[in-house]
Structure formats: C-alpha cells, structure tokens
A and B are shown apart, each in its own frame.
Chain A
Amino acid sequence: MRYEAVIGLETHVELATNSKIFCSCGGHSTKGEPNTRVCPACAGMPGMLPVTNRRVVELAMRAGILLHCDISRYTTFDKKSYYYPDLPCAYQITQWFHPVCRNGSVEVTTKDGTRTIGIKQIHMEEDAGKLVHDDWTETTLVDFNRTSVPLIEIVSKPDFRTADEVMAYLEKLKTMFRFANISECEEGAMRCDVNISIRPEGTEELGVRTEIKNMSSLSSIRRAIQYETARHLDAVERGTETLVQETRRWDDVKGRTFSMRNKETAADYRYFPDPNLMPILIGEDWIRRVRDTMPASIEEKTAEYQSKGLSEKEIASLTSERALCDLFDAVTAAGRDPKEAASWILTECGGILRKHGQVMGELRVAPEKLSRIMEKVSGNEINRAAGRKVLEAVLYEDADPDAYCKAHNLSAQGDADAVRQVVLKVLDATPNAVKDYLGGKKKAFQALFGGCMKELKGNGDPQVIRTLLEEELSKRS
C-alpha cells in the first residue's frame, strides 16, 4: 500500500512595524540590549491597558489581500491563558473567534508541478519574550524585548504533500512579504509549526497527527518533515511504535524529533474575548485605502517589466528585492533606457559589489547618480569602462559623478576634439612609428593606438581613437 504525507503549516511572521502591537516600545525583536524595549504594558504590570497599533491591522490586511483572503469586517482579540516565564501577563493576546482574514489560497510550484495551498485564516497576535537557559546555574534568563512584538499567524489547510512544497511555500511567503513591506523576514522573523500525518493514497480520512513546534530554519523544517514522515510510515507499516496525537520538538543535532511535555488543549487555554480591546470594525473604505496604498506586487511588477522588454532572468533578479525595483523605476523615470538600466543595476553594480565581497541586497546607490553615469556613457562623454570606475567611486566613496570625471580627466576621452589633440601629440612624438606605418608595416598602427590610449590613461573610446588616428595618418601619407 502506498501512503501520502498530509502536512499543514502554522507560520508566524514578525511584522515590519516601528512599535509593538499594544504599546509604543520599539518593535524590532532582535534590536536593543536585553530588557531595554519594555514598558509597564508589555511587561504585564497590573493596571496597564493595551492599545492596538493601527499599522498592524493594515499589514495583516495587506497579507490577506496578497493571499486572496476574505477580509473580516468584524475582528476581535482574545486571551489565550497559560503560564510560562516568557509570558508576563500569563496570557497571550491573539485571535481565536474572529480572525482578521479567512479563506485564501496561494500557488506553489516545485519540479513536480503546481499545487494550490488553501489558507484557512490569518490572525494577529503578540509574540512572547525570549528565554536563555543557563546550564551552569540551572536558571533561565528572561528578555522581554520581544513581548508584544506584532505577529501574523498564517494557518494553512493540510494541503501539502511533500517537503519540497513546504519549502516552495515558505520561500514564496518570504519573497511576497518582503516585497510588500509586510515583514523583513530576517533570521528568526519567520517561525513554523508543522502538523503532519500520513494516510493511504486516494483516501480522505486523516491519520494520527503530530505537531512539530517552533522551527525557523528552512533546512531544519525539511529534515524534520522527512524524519517525521518516515517515523509515521515505520509505525504504520512495521508497527515500530504506536502513534499518538502529540506535540514534538525537532533536535537538529541528533536529527530526530522528541515528544514534548503534555501541552494544554484548546479548551485548557480558556480562550475568551479580551475585555480591554474592543472589536475592530473594518469598513470598505479602509480596505480600499489599504489596497490602494499597497506597493505593486511581484506579479504586477513582472508584467510591467515584461512590457518594457526585460528578459525573464532580468525580471527575476530585479524582483528579488523591493529596493532593486525601486532603483530601476527611479532610473527609468529619469529617462534612462530600461534594458540599459537593468544592465547597469544587475551587471555593473552587481560586478562591483561582488568584487567587494557584497551581494545585491546590499546595494545602496542614489538613483540620480546612477542615472547621471548612464547619461554620460550613452552621450559618449565617457566610455563604459570609465563609467564603471565612476560607479565604483559613487558606491564606495560617495563621489559625485561629474566631479569625479572632472578630477580624473575622464570626460576628455569622449570629446572628439580632445582625443584628436592626443592623437596629434602621439604622432608628433613617434615619427618612426608613423614612417613604419606609412611604409606598409600595419603593425605600427597598434603601437600608435597603444600610445594614444596610454595618454588617455586607458579611458579612451577605442572606436573614436581608431577613426581619428586613421584620419590623421592619411593626411600624412
């Protein structure tokens, strides 16, 4: 009998806000010294009340729009009660009864084809603090900087069948959310709980489900899915153990899952509406404003760049980072040719960054400076090689393109009159080479050409030099 894995994901994504979800402390979970981004509200001190960050709701709506969800017109925050040192109030504010988005979908593509993954819901919630375990003293240190950092949890339907599909889904979410400025999706900003069971192929009834909690590394998630699928198969086919519905944790070093302590069930969390937070009413106007102010999606940008004649590879590279698209758009808005703009950003900037050990995501260049360099090259003021030099100076010395060209005498090599002066100077200084060339020794031309290029410090336009050299030599014949 053949079995198939049935996998569902609960993906927690940290939102790119300035402040936390229910207070005005700084929102980024990895910044700041321990316990320096904490106030009485997020520290759970008695009497402090939460006030919802409007931007959190809007980013959650944005995620819902991208994942083709229905946006709830009435959404509530609810308390989930349990005790743990990273939860100062002894409850987490989340959404149980009326999540902000429901019933969406996203397509994922692997080498085996494309599958539509259903999205059951997206809900908003606050993160908990961070615990650091000290093995020497058998104590745990608590950092509350992360408490109340805003998260959205994307709950998928159990539509995945392979680890490849899960990887493709997570990569797609990361790219979409970074592109839409919903989340920076840095290390640790996206964490997953994986629910996995197996069943005979062609059947509908779900098997015993285990949950693997709190994984953030894509490679760990893949290995955990592969391990757990194999464990389930062994149990069912060879009776190695009896599967029970439970929560497990993945040990990356040992390469296996372990059963965790008995977790509370949903009833044990005693979900009830948070009496301190009124329901949020989302009207059509608000949804329309969120939709209208959303950055263009990757699909929209892809279509736009296709219409501008960019190749599939160029489009894929530009849309890998929102900042690259913004740079491309600014440079083309200034009048530069789209294909040339793509070439300068991806090939020239990319080459210089690689030379300095950097990647495209680290590119920082003022669009007007890049545009000016392109203008100089396309206007034959300087050649492309010189343009590259100017670009490197702009990237690493904050140079001004015009000032740099002037200081390094780069503009002369595009100016035909200036180049002619250099040609005449070289011809006058090397009468023997001129005599050899006029006597039929064509190789002498290369020596004269090299002399001109040396005078122009390697920045001369080869075609211009050749043409003027031929012209002046013919006058001396």
Chain B
Amino acid sequence: MEITRETARYVAKLSRLEIAEEDMDSVCQGLTSILSYMDEINASVDTGTVSVTGSGAGCPTRPDTVAPSMERVLLLDNAPEHGDETPVVPRVVD
C-alpha cells in the first residue's frame, strides 16, 4: 500500500503532528516501506496455529480492592498550567 501525501497529512492531523512540507516525501516513503515490510511478513509467516495468549493462561486480573491514590499535588505538578484542584487547559467545548 502506498502512502500518499494526502494520507500522510490526514494521519498526521489525527495524531496532532505537524510534518514540514520538505519532509513529506521522506515520511511518505518511510511509511510506505513499513507497510510493505508488514505485507512481506504477513505473506511469509503463518501465525494461524500460534495462541494469542502465549501460555494460554489469559489476562491476569486483580481483585476489586481500593488502594490509596496519589497526592493531588503530584498530578498538578505535571500539568503545564493548573489551579488549586485541577489542571487548566484552553476552553474546549465539544
């Protein structure tokens, strides 16, 4: 599958990434070669008999018990902007 400039721009927008116009060709080539490599792998490796869960044991789970949460200040310190109780972001209304 070839990745066109239009597709690259579209995916970049979804990912909130900015790709400079001068880099567009190399990005398209790189993404195309990655997908081509996946096509080769899919064509040459038969995974039909391999269990997705590896050991077959399935997903580890935990009991429904509550443990202490982290101090609020630790969360707020990681936010670029915050008030006393919450991170603050530019107004977003869906």
Stretch at the interface among B19-27, B31-39, B41-49, B79-87: B79-87
Residue A18 is within 8 A (CB to CB) of chain B in the complex: yes
A27–B87 Cα distance when bound, in Å, is 21
Q: Is the CB of A35 within 8 A of B58?
A: no
Residue numbers in A under 8 Å from B88 (CB-CB): 139-142
Q: Is the CB of A37 within 8 A of B69?
A: yes
Residue A163 is within 8 A (CB to CB) of chain B in the complex: no
A418–B57 Cα distance when bound, in Å, is 74
Q: Is the CB of A53 within 8 A of B14?
A: no
A261–B94 Cα distance when bound, in Å, is 7
Residue A383 is within 8 A (CB to CB) of chain B in the complex: no
| CB contact list, B47-94 vs A, under 8 A | 52-54, 56-67, 69-70, 72, 75-76, 78, 83, 85-94
Residue numbers in A under 8 Å from B85 (CB-CB): 33-35, 141, 143
A82–B92 Cα distance when bound, in Å, is 14
A19–B62 Cα distance when bound, in Å, is 10
Count residues on chain A whose CB falls below 8 Å from chain B CBs: 51
Residue numbers in B under 8 Å from A38 (CB-CB): 69-70, 72, 75
A39–B69 Cα distance when bound, in Å, is 5
Q: Is the CB of B63 within 8 A of A54?
A: yes
User: Interface size for chain B: under 10, 10 to 19, 20 to 34, or 35 or more residues?
Assistant: 20 to 34
Q: How far is the CB of A344 from chain B (nearest CB, A)?
A: 35
A279–B61 Cα distance when bound, in Å, is 11
Q: How far is the CB of A369 from chain B (nearest CB, A)?
A: 31
Q: Is the CB of A279 within 8 A of B92?
A: no
Q: Is the CB of B64 within 8 A of A19?
A: yes
Q: Is the CB of A24 within 8 A of B67?
A: yes
Neighbour of B91 across the interface among A33, A81, A133, A270, CB < 8 A: A133
Residue A280 is within 8 A (CB to CB) of chain B in the complex: yes
Q: Known interface pairs A18-B65, A52-B61, A52-B62. Does A138 touch B14 (Cβ–Cβ under 8 Å)? A: no
Q: Is the CB of B89 within 8 A of A278?
A: no
Q: Is the CB of A34 within 8 A of B16?
A: no
Q: Known interface pairs A24-B62, A57-B61, A142-B86. Does A36 touch B93 (Cβ–Cβ under 8 Å)? A: no
Residue numbers in B under 8 Å from A35 (CB-CB): 72, 75-76, 85-87
Q: Is the CB of B66 within 8 A of A19?
A: yes
Q: Is the CB of B90 within 8 A of A138?
A: yes
Neighbour of B59 across the interface among A19, A34, A279, CB < 8 A: A279
Residue A367 is within 8 A (CB to CB) of chain B in the complex: no
A53–B60 Cα distance when bound, in Å, is 9
Residue numbers in A under 8 Å from B94 (CB-CB): 84, 249, 260-261
> In this complex, what residue of B is CB-closest to A34?
B85
> In this complex, what residue of B is CB-closest to A54?
B61
Q: Is the CB of A39 within 8 A of B66?
A: no
Neighbour of B89 across the interface among A25, A53, A57, A85, CB < 8 A: A85
> In this complex, what residue of B is CB-closest to A132?
B86
Q: Is the CB of B89 within 8 A of A36?
A: no
A240–B92 Cα distance when bound, in Å, is 31
Residue numbers in B under 8 Å from A134 (CB-CB): 91
Q: Is the CB of B61 within 8 A of A53?
A: yes
A53–B61 Cα distance when bound, in Å, is 6
> In this complex, what residue of A is CB-closest to B84?
A34
A277–B52 Cα distance when bound, in Å, is 11
Q: Is the CB of B89 within 8 A of A140?
A: yes
Q: How far is the CB of A297 from chain B (nearest CB, A)?
A: 22
Residue numbers in A under 8 Å from B91 (CB-CB): 133-134, 138-140
Residue A45 is within 8 A (CB to CB) of chain B in the complex: yes
A307–B62 Cα distance when bound, in Å, is 41
Q: How far is the CB of B71 from chain A (nearest CB, A)?
A: 9
Q: Is the CB of A85 within 8 A of B76?
A: no
Q: Is the CB of A39 within 8 A of B64?
A: no
Residue A40 is within 8 A (CB to CB) of chain B in the complex: yes
Q: Is the CB of B58 within 8 A of A279?
A: yes
A132–B61 Cα distance when bound, in Å, is 33
Neighbour of B69 across the interface among A36, A85, A249, A278, CB < 8 A: A36
Residue numbers in A under 8 Å from B53 (CB-CB): 278-279, 281
Q: Is the CB of B75 within 8 A of A140?
A: no
**Chain A 98-138 against B: per-residue CB contact (8 Å), 1 yes, 0 no?**
00000000000000000000000000000000011110001
Residue A55 is within 8 A (CB to CB) of chain B in the complex: yes
Q: Is the CB of B66 within 8 A of A131?
A: no
Residue numbers in B under 8 Å from A54 (CB-CB): 61-64
Q: Is the CB of B72 within 8 A of A36?
A: yes
Q: Is the CB of A52 within 8 A of B75?
A: no
Can you report 23 A-B residue pairs in the complex whose CB atoms are below 8 A from each other? A18-B64, A18-B66, A19-B67, A24-B66, A34-B86, A35-B76, A36-B69, A38-B75, A43-B70, A81-B14, A84-B94, A85-B92, A131-B92, A132-B86, A139-B89, A141-B88, A143-B86, A144-B75, A260-B94, A278-B59, A278-B60, A279-B53, A280-B61
Q: 8 closest pairs, A vs B, by CB? A: A55-B64, A281-B58, A24-B67, A54-B61, A278-B59, A141-B86, A34-B85, A280-B59
Q: Apart from A34-B86, A141-B87, A141-B88, what 9 extra A-B contacts exist at CB < 8 Å? A: A18-B65, A43-B70, A55-B64, A81-B14, A140-B91, A144-B75, A264-B14, A278-B53, A281-B58
